[in-house]
A and B are shown apart, each in its own frame.
Chain A
Amino acid sequence: MIPELGTFSTILALCLALILSVVPMVGAYTGNKLWVDYARPLSKGVFFFLSIAMVCLGYAFLTNDFSVVYVANGSNTALPWFFKISAIWGGHEGSLLLWVWIQAVWTLAVAVKSRNLPLDIIGRVLSVMGMITAAFLLFILFTSSPFDRFLPGYPMEGADLNPLLQDFGLIVHPPTLYMGYVGLSVAFSFAIAALLSGRLDAAWARWSRPWTNVAWAFLTLGIGLGSWWAYYELGWGGWWFWDPVENASLMPWLVATALIHSLAVTEKRGVFKSWTVLLAISAFCLSLLGTFLVRSGVLTSVHAFATDPERGLFILGMLIFVIGGSLLLYAIRAGSVKSESTFSLSSRESLLLVNNILLTVSCAMVLIGTLYPLVMDALNLGKISVGPPYFNALFVPIMSLMIVFMGIAAVSRWKHTEPSYLVKQLWLPAVIAILAGVITSYAYSGVLEFWVTLGLTLAYWIVFSWIRDYFNRARNRDSLWGAVTKQSRSYYGMLLAHLGVAVLVVGVAMVSIFVEHRDARMQAGDQLEFRDYTFIFDGVRKVQGPNYTSDMGRIRVLYKGEPYRIMYPEKRMYTARGMSMTEVALDPGLFRDLYIAMGEELDGGAWAIRLQYKPFVRWLWLGALLMTAGGILSASDKRYRRQNNRAAAAA
């Protein structure tokens, strides 16, 4: 009964979404205020019914309703309750429902939070969001409903959630990432609404900026969480694999990063308007492309797509419709956009354009690298693999170049900046950055490792060029405190996010070059010296978990001969699926992680043990957190709220 209620609510949500995608749009064209006014209640209705559907699915999981196919495949009576909740998005059907529910959350947020927008714009924006919701709901109802039943004979026990997913990571990573992915649909809808209304102006940029910042912040956090999860869950301590699935989330991130910078120029200077619109469209299309790549099965093999084409074809059709339609609209409308503001080659506008070019080129590079093997295979040109050596060889230089320009942009001015002024401002930060980079790199390792020195120098360069800019701003103020409080939140948000980049760069450089590992065969009583640490293996004992049995190792760690801590790596056997999993033991630290994973049991009671020393690995996620905080802080800037208050006062 309850699952049917879920299906029913989903259908109702679809009906409302279909009305939402037509009525306010027509109202906006014909000037019918009443029709446009339907947009807000309809958005709330879609959200309401999709929430009911989510609750129904959650209820089916919590009550072990194995007559529902999706629950039977992804849950088990022994599964702890919190994993039952997160199992809602543990598979294809449920994660699509989560996707569309989050889309409804964003639609609701736009409906509630933008009282100050002209009515015709808000009607168009919500309409476009309704179309996206409707398309995904059709996809769910026709090809992947999570409420389908096994009837009449249903299993008494579920197949269990994949052990890899029985983790805190599954609880937080997909919702956060989807918040980012789907949030880009807001920027997309604003762009389409602006194109439709023909009013592509700075006001449009100002409206969509906070939304884009928040979506970008979620996307950053989601990718960071995914990397962190992979690091501790998969058992060998990697944090980025250039896997197509990761690339699918990196591409929208790169374009969204370009977009938030380009929106800044459009809002402040009224230039790059059509380019900004194109970025907003591309960012969301890449989200959809990522969904297509991940869901259709083409990644496993192009032939998997042909054997079960229904889902893949649906997404492909939607992709073609969205990309083709929005680009067509863009081609018709963007030509008429003119901007009369001027700027020279040496100006902040140009530098931000450089940022945009580098980000989009790196995104294109990731796209080419991800799709190339698929295309070659489809054309029967042979099977090749494009992996980390390719991506690193191209991505690292592009990003390094971008950071160099980031420092220059920090002190540059709008319209025109004399190159000699830039030199005067920046020679000192540049010299200090290089010196500091070389000194720290040498002091840390005793050798000058090229990539580490480069990474540290770039990180210092970001920091010192911003300090220079900050001093420029502070000099015009009477007191230091005045300077600190006078800057806007969006300025501090930017500082924080750029500091995040510096921290991230340090983490990447250090952990990539200085990671050390030892693979050892250890018996009870064996010990191993490694860096300043001594690891003593005390043997293994059996432990019984709720839905697994575990061989838990005990390793005493001494730091410079003194007892430091005891670590318990595990090898778990999940009984329902018969899958064995490595549960690593971690000793996290700001400057290094100790990472212990157990391999197989060897003959004679010995175990294969892998010990890793990971310097600065936490800085990767610390950087992502700082960027996230920066994005949120910028979006909370006074000027976005002030326009709300002002509109309220005017009314």
Chain B
Amino acid sequence: MIRSILILCVLSLVVFKSHAGFETYEFTSVEGERRYAQLSRELRCPTCQNQNISDSDAPLAADLRRELHRMIESNQSDDQILDFMITRYGDFVHYRPRMAPETYFLWYGPIALMLIGLGVLLVVAKKRKRKQSATSGHSSVNAQPSLSEGLTEDERKRLQSLLQQDDQK
């Protein structure tokens, strides 16, 4: 069993899971059905490799689906259901990690990176502009001064001739 799981996970870049298990639950309201669909996709099957309880055909996932259906039908809120599941199976069971000190970096990290990126953009553009005003006299003459930077005299000549060929075409 372990061996086949190992083969499965080392094998390729596609995720392998066994086929879906499903039963047919009746709901008294459309809202309940929608919540069932959403929550059964956010809850992780505790015994599977990486599957939500909606897609898994493990017996435990079937139990959780039954439990979820029962709780929705008895009009419990999403928070009540999630609290119940997390108390029973730990944070592992919920695919949306809750906001807590140890997950701050997870949630705010990308936002912080975005702000840093924005800052970098502003700084870079500003620096470039300053250069532009400092060297405005030359830069208009040679549109791509950087092309020839760091080349030997020979290479510079060759580049010039190549650029001219480009212009002629």
Contact = CB atoms under 8 A, between A and B. Distances in A.
State yes or no: do A and B come from one complex. yes
Interface in B132-154: 132, 135, 139, 144-147, 149-151
B124 A357 contact: no
B25 to A, nearest CB: 8
Contacts of A361: 110, 113-114, 117
A445 B49 CA distance: 36
B66 interface: no
Given A170-B12, A384-B103, A385-B97, A341 B146 contact: yes
A372 B103 CA distance: 9
Nearest to A223: B13
A384 B91 contact: yes
B16 interface: yes
A498 interface: no
Contacts of A581: 19
B131 A342 contact: yes
A95 B12 CA distance: 8
Interface in B1-58: 4-17, 19-24, 41-42, 44, 49-50, 52, 55, 57
A91 B105 CA distance: 36
B132 to A, nearest CB: 4
Contacts of B114: 357-358, 361, 398
A180 to B, nearest CB: 10
A368 B12 contact: no
Contacts of B24: 519-521, 608
Contacts of A389: 42, 95-96
A521 to B, nearest CB: 6
A369 B50 CA distance: 14
A294 interface: yes
Interface in B99-121: 102-103, 105-106, 109-110, 113-114, 117-118, 120-121
B126 interface: yes
Contact of A381 (B16, B17, B94, B102): B102
Interface in A184-233: 198-199, 201-202, 222, 226, 229-230
A297 B19 contact: no
- Chain A residues touching B, range: 35 or more
Contacts of B20: 235-236, 582, 597, 599, 610
Contacts of B113: 361, 364-365
A610 B24 CA distance: 10
A646 B162 CA distance: 9
A385 B95 contact: yes
A385 B44 contact: yes
Contacts of B42: 387-389
A90 interface: yes
A310 to B, nearest CB: 14
Interface in A456-512: none
Contacts of A201: 146-147, 149-151
Interface in A550-584: 577, 580-582
B146 A202 contact: yes
17 contacts: A162-B4, A162-B8, A201-B147, A236-B55, A270-B146, A294-B10, A341-B146, A345-B126, A357-B121, A372-B103, A372-B106, A382-B90, A385-B95, A390-B97, A577-B4, A599-B21, A608-B22
Interface of A: 73, 90-92, 95, 162, 164-165, 169-170, 173-174, 177, 198-199, 201-202, 222, 226, 229-230, 234-236, 238, 241, 243-246, 248-249, 269-271, 290, 294-295, 297, 299-300, 304, 338-345, 350, 353-354, 357-358, 360-362, 364-365, 368-369, 372, 376, 381-390, 393-394, 398, 519-521, 577, 580-582, 597, 599-600, 608, 610, 639, 646
Interface of B: 4-17, 19-24, 41-42, 44, 49-50, 52, 55, 57, 90-97, 102-103, 105-106, 109-110, 113-114, 117-118, 120-122, 124-126, 128-129, 131-132, 135, 139, 144-147, 149-151, 162, 165-166
Given A162-B11, A234-B17, A353-B124, 17 more contacts: A95-B12, A201-B146, A201-B150, A246-B14, A270-B147, A271-B146, A300-B5, A344-B128, A345-B122, A365-B110, A383-B92, A385-B44, A386-B95, A387-B96, A398-B110, A521-B24, A582-B20
